[in-house]
Chains A and B, each alone.
Chain A
Amino acid sequence: MNNSVLLISLGGVLASAAPILFAVIGETISERAGVLNLSMNGLILIAAMGSFAVALATNSVVLGFVAGAAIGALVALVVAFASLTLGQSQVAVGFVLAMLCRDLSYFLGSPIMGKVGPRISQVPIPLLDRIPILGPLFFQQDVMTYLSFVLIFASWFFIFRTRPGLVLRGMGEKPAAAYIRGENVSRLQYVYAIVGGAIAGLAGPIYSLSVKAGWKGTISGLDGIGWIVLSITIFGGWNPFRAAFGAYLFAFLQWLGLVLQPSLPSVPSQVLQVAPFPLMILTLLLVNIGNAEWVDRTLARLPENVRRDISRVLRALNAKPPASLGEPFKKE
C-alpha cells in the first residue's frame, strides 16, 4: 500500500470516528450531569433513519441534521422525564428505549429503504489541505468531521474550564452541594440530558447522510454502535480527550479488520469486524480493575518498588464515574 492511499484511508478512519465522537461526547455530558442515557443504540438508529427521511423529503441535509438532533433530544427527554420526574430506573427506561427505537426505525424506515438521497460532501480547506501528511489526513474532510475535531476541544474546555462546566461536574458528583449553592439541579439535569441527547442524535445523520449514506434497515450495520458508544464513554473516563482517543482507536481497529481481510481469507468478515469488542472488554477491565478491593490487598503484599509502579499504571488507566450517576436528585 503506498503512502497516499494509506493517508486517505487514515483520513477515512477520522471521518468514520466522527459519529462515534458526537455520540460519546453527548453521552459524556449527560452522564456528567448524572443522567445515564442507555438508549444510545436505539437513539442513533432512529436519528439516522429520521434524518435521512427528512433530508429525502426536503432535499436538504441541513434539515436532516436538525431532525437528527431533535430526535436525539426527544429520546433523551423521555429518559430524563422517566427518571428525574417519575423516579424510575434509568437503566430500565434506557434499555427499553434502546430496543423500542431500534424496532421503530426499522418499521417506519422500511418505505425509504435503499433510496438514494442527499449527502454531505468533502470540503477541503484551502491552503491547509496542501500540507504534506496533515493535509490529506485532517483538512480534506466533510463539515461534520471538522466539527467533530472542534467538539473535542470545545466540550473539554466547557467541562473543565468554565463556570457552568464546574457546576455540571459538581452536579454529577454531589447534586446536593450544587443545590445548596442555589442551582436548580433538576432543571439543569434536564437541560444537560437533552443537550447531550441532541449532540448524540447528530451521530445518526452523520451516518445516514455521510459515512454510510442512505438507510438500509437491518443491514445498515449500525445496530450495536450505540453499545460501543456507551463502552467508549467509560473508557474515556468522562473526559473528551480520552473519549476521542477511544473513538479513534475503535475506528482504527475496525479499519484494520477490513484491511487484514484479504490476507486472512479463511476468517469470515464478520469475525474481523468484531475484533474491537474483545479489546474493548479488555480495556474496560484495565480501566476498572483499579477500583476493585482485592487488587489493593494483593498490591499491599508486594514489595514497595513493584507496588509503586503497578499502582501508578493502574491509576493512570483508572476512570472514576460521576458519583451520583444514575441517581435522580431529591430535595428532601
Chain B
Amino acid sequence: MPDKTNKSPRNPLDACHPDSSNKKNHPREQRNAATEGTAKEHYASGFLYQAGAVVFALVITTFVLLAAGVGPFQAYKAIILGAVGSWDLVSNVLVSWVPLLLATSGLLVTFTVGLWNIGIEGQITLGAVFTTWAMRAMQNSGWDPTLILVLAIIAGMVGGMLWALLAGALKTFGGVNEIFGGLGLNFVATALNIWLIFGPWKRPGIASMSGTLPFDRSLWMPIAAGSSRLTPASIVIAIVGIIIVYLLLENSYFGLRLKAVGKNARSAYMLGIPTWQHMMASFAICGVFAGMAGAIQVTAVYHRLIPSISSGYGYLGLMVAMLVGFKASIAAPVALFFAALNVGSIQLPIILKLDSSLAGVLQGTLVLCVILGQGIRTQVQKKKRATP
C-alpha cells in the first residue's frame, strides 16, 4: 500500500502536492493567507480587491476589443443580448449551466484535498460514453423510459468515477502527477469516443462527426414547456449536487478530514486519517459528478453521443472553482455567469464577425486578474504588518 508519510517521495512538478512544504501553492491556502485584521475589515478589503480585479479585467478585454477593431460596447451589448435576449436564450444558458455547475461541484472536492483534477474532461466524456452504452443496451428492451434514463445516468456516473479512479491510481500508486496523468487520459478518452462514433456505434450508412444516431424521442429527458432543450430534471440534479457538495465540505466530518489532508497530508496521517484513501475518495466523488455531467449531455442535451461531448465544461469548471476561491457557497451564480458568457458569445461571429472565443478571453482575463489581485492584496497586507 502506498504510504505518503515517511520519506515522502516528491513527485515531479508536484507544486500542489499535499506533502509539499509549499503552502502557497495549495489552492485553499491563498484565501487564508490574507486573514489579517478584523473580519469586517477583511471582507471589506477583499471585496474591494475583487471589484478592482473585475474592473481591471474589463479594461483589459476592452483594449483587446479595440485592438481587434471592434466597438467594445457593441460587443458587450451583443453578448448580453445573446444571453438574455429571449426566453429561448435564457433556457440555453441554463442548459449549459447544468454540466458546468456539476463539473465545478466535483472539482471543489478534489481541490479541497489539494488535487488538480485536470482529467475531468475525460471523466465527462467517459460518463457520456457509459450512458450511451447503457441507452443502446436498453433502448429496445421495452422498459419504462424513466427507469432506462435513471439506469443510464447511473451508468454514466460509474463511467466518470472509473476514469477518475484511474487518474487517482496513477497518482497514488504510480507517482504520476494528476495534472499530466489526467491530461493524457483526456486525450485517450477523446480518442475512445471518436473511435466509438466512427466504428462500432456509427450511424447506419455513413459515420459522421455529427455523432451517433439520436435516441427515440421517448428516451429523451422531459423538456420544459416552451423551450427547445431545457430539462427541469437536470436543473434539479445540478442544484441538489452543489448543495450536497456544500454540506459535505462545510458541514461533515468527512469534509473536515478532506480539508486536513489537503492542508497537511503528513499531519493528517499522524492524526490517524488514512491519506491516500481520502484522495481516492475525492477523485471518485469528482468522477461521479463529471460522469453525471456527461450523462446529462447525452440524455438531455444532444440525445446522442457526439465527438466533442464534454464541450470544455471540465476546463471551464476549473476556472470557476478558482474564481470562487474554492467556496461552494458562491459556485452556482458564478457558474451561471460563465454559462451566460458562453451562450452570449455564440452569435458574435454572425452579428459582429467576431470569433466566439471572446467568451474565453473574458473568463480567462477575469480569473487571472482575480488571482493577481489576491497576490497584490497579500503583499500589501504584509507590508502593513511590517510597518506598524
Task: Name A residues whose Cβ lies closer than 8 Å to a Cβ of B.
Answer: 31, 36, 38, 78, 82, 85-93, 95-97, 99-104, 106-108, 110-111, 217, 224, 227, 230-231, 234, 266-268, 270-271, 273-274, 277-278, 280-281, 284-285, 287-289, 291-294, 297, 319-321, 323, 325-328
A321 near B10 with CB under 8 A, answer yes
B329-373 with Cβ < 8 A to chain A: 354-355, 357-361, 363-365, 367-368, 371-372
Other contacts beyond A89-B26, A321-B14: 15, CB < 8 A: A86-B375, A100-B361, A106-B357, A108-B64, A110-B354, A234-B177, A266-B199, A268-B195, A273-B191, A281-B185, A285-B170, A293-B6, A326-B13, A326-B20, A327-B25
Q: A231 contacts which of B180, B190, B374, B379 (Cβ < 8 Å)?
A: B180
What are the interface flags for B288-326 relative to A under an 8 Å C-beta threshold, 1 for contact and 0 otherwise?
Answer: 000000000000000000000000000100110010000
Chain A residues with CB below 8 A from B319, complex form: 96, 99
Q: How far is the CB of B55 from chain A (nearest CB, A)?
A: 18
Q: How far is the CB of A325 from chain B (nearest CB, A)?
A: 6
B4-39 with Cβ < 8 A to chain A: 4, 6-7, 9-16, 20-22, 24-27, 30, 33
The residue of chain A having its C-beta at the shortest distance from the C-beta of B369 within the complex is A96
Residue with the greatest number of chain A CB neighbours at <10 A, chosen from B7, B361, B374, B376: B361
What are the interface flags for B159-190 relative to A under an 8 Å C-beta threshold, 1 for contact and 0 otherwise?
Answer: 00000000000100111110111011101101
Chain B interface main SS type = helix
User: In the docked arrangement, what's the CA distance between A110 and B20, Å?
Assistant: 42
User: B49 interface residue, CB < 8 Å from A?
Assistant: no
B271-286 with Cβ < 8 A to chain A: none
Chain B residues with CB below 8 A from A100, complex form: 360-361, 364-365, 367-368
User: In the docked arrangement, what's the CA distance between A288 and B375, Å?
Assistant: 33
Chain B residues with CB below 8 A from A271, complex form: 191, 194-195
User: In the docked arrangement, what's the CA distance between A271 and B27, Å?
Assistant: 35
Chain A residues with CB below 8 A from B14, complex form: 321, 325-326
Chain A interface main SS type = helix
User: B201 interface residue, CB < 8 Å from A?
Assistant: no
A99 near B315 with CB under 8 A, answer yes
Task: Name B residues whose Cβ lies closer than 8 Å to a Cβ of A.
Answer: 1-4, 6-7, 9-16, 20-22, 24-27, 30, 33, 64, 67-68, 116, 118, 170, 173-177, 179-181, 183-185, 187-188, 190-191, 194-195, 198-199, 315, 318-319, 322, 354-355, 357-361, 363-365, 367-368, 371-372, 374-376, 378-379
Chain A residues with CB below 8 A from B198, complex form: 268
Q: How far is the CB of B25 from chain A (nearest CB, A)?
A: 4
Q: B184 contacts which of A106, A284, A291 (Cβ < 8 Å)?
A: A284
The residue of chain B having its C-beta at the shortest distance from the C-beta of A231 within the complex is B180
A36 near B13 with CB under 8 A, answer yes
Chain B residues with CB below 8 A from A284, complex form: 170, 174, 176-177, 180-181, 184
B180 near A289 with CB under 8 A, answer no
The residue of chain A having its C-beta at the shortest distance from the C-beta of B355 within the complex is A110
Chain A residues with CB below 8 A from B3, complex form: 293-294, 297
The residue of chain B having its C-beta at the shortest distance from the C-beta of A294 within the complex is B2
25 contacts between A and B (CB under 8 A): A87-B375, A89-B24, A89-B30, A90-B25, A92-B27, A92-B322, A96-B322, A100-B361, A103-B357, A106-B355, A230-B13, A231-B180, A266-B199, A271-B194, A277-B187, A281-B188, A284-B170, A284-B176, A285-B170, A285-B174, A289-B175, A291-B11, A294-B2, A294-B3, A320-B10
Chain A residues with CB below 8 A from B12, complex form: 234, 287-288, 319-321, 325
A-B pairs with the 10 shortest C-beta distances? A86-B375, A326-B15, A100-B364, A103-B360, A288-B175, A106-B357, A281-B184, A321-B12, A291-B9, A277-B187
B13 near A104 with CB under 8 A, answer no
The residue of chain A having its C-beta at the shortest distance from the C-beta of B33 within the complex is A87
A291 near B175 with CB under 8 A, answer yes
B184 near A278 with CB under 8 A, answer yes
Q: Report if A108-B68 is in contact (Cβ < 8 Å); known contacts: A86-B376, A100-B365.
A: yes
Q: How far is the CB of A47 from chain B (nearest CB, A)?
A: 17
A89 near B15 with CB under 8 A, answer yes
Chain B residues with CB below 8 A from A230, complex form: 13, 180
Q: How far is the CB of A89 from chain B (nearest CB, A)?
A: 4
Chain B residues with CB below 8 A from A231, complex form: 180, 183-184
B176 near A281 with CB under 8 A, answer yes
Q: How far is the CB of B276 from chain A (nearest CB, A)?
A: 10
The residue of chain B having its C-beta at the shortest distance from the C-beta of A101 within the complex is B364
User: In the docked arrangement, what's the CA distance between A97 and B318, Å?
Assistant: 13
A96 near B367 with CB under 8 A, answer yes
A104 near B20 with CB under 8 A, answer no
Chain A residues with CB below 8 A from B372, complex form: 82, 86, 88
User: In the docked arrangement, what's the CA distance between A267 and B187, Å?
Assistant: 16
Residue with the greatest number of chain A CB neighbours at <10 A, chosen from B2, B10, B180, B319: B180
B175 near A92 with CB under 8 A, answer no
B355 near A107 with CB under 8 A, answer yes
B367 near A288 with CB under 8 A, answer no
User: In the docked arrangement, what's the CA distance between A38 and B3, Å?
Assistant: 28
A281 near B170 with CB under 8 A, answer yes
Q: Report if A93-B24 is in contact (Cβ < 8 Å); known contacts: A103-B361, A107-B361, A327-B15.
A: no
A92 near B371 with CB under 8 A, answer yes
Chain B residues with CB below 8 A from A101, complex form: 364
Q: How far is the CB of B168 from chain A (nearest CB, A)?
A: 14
User: In the docked arrangement, what's the CA distance between A93 and B24, Å?
Assistant: 12
B194 near A328 with CB under 8 A, answer no
Q: A107 contacts which of B68, B194, B318 (Cβ < 8 Å)?
A: B68
Chain A residues with CB below 8 A from B175, complex form: 288-289, 291-292
User: In the docked arrangement, what's the CA distance between A243 and B4, Å?
Assistant: 28
Q: How far is the CB of B317 from chain A (nearest CB, A)?
A: 12
Q: Report if A86-B378 is in contact (Cβ < 8 Å); known contacts: A104-B64, A293-B2, A321-B14.
A: yes
Chain B residues with CB below 8 A from A289, complex form: 174-175
Chain B residues with CB below 8 A from A268, complex form: 194-195, 198-199
Q: How far is the CB of B120 from chain A (nearest CB, A)?
A: 12
The residue of chain B having its C-beta at the shortest distance from the C-beta of A93 within the complex is B371
B13 near A267 with CB under 8 A, answer no
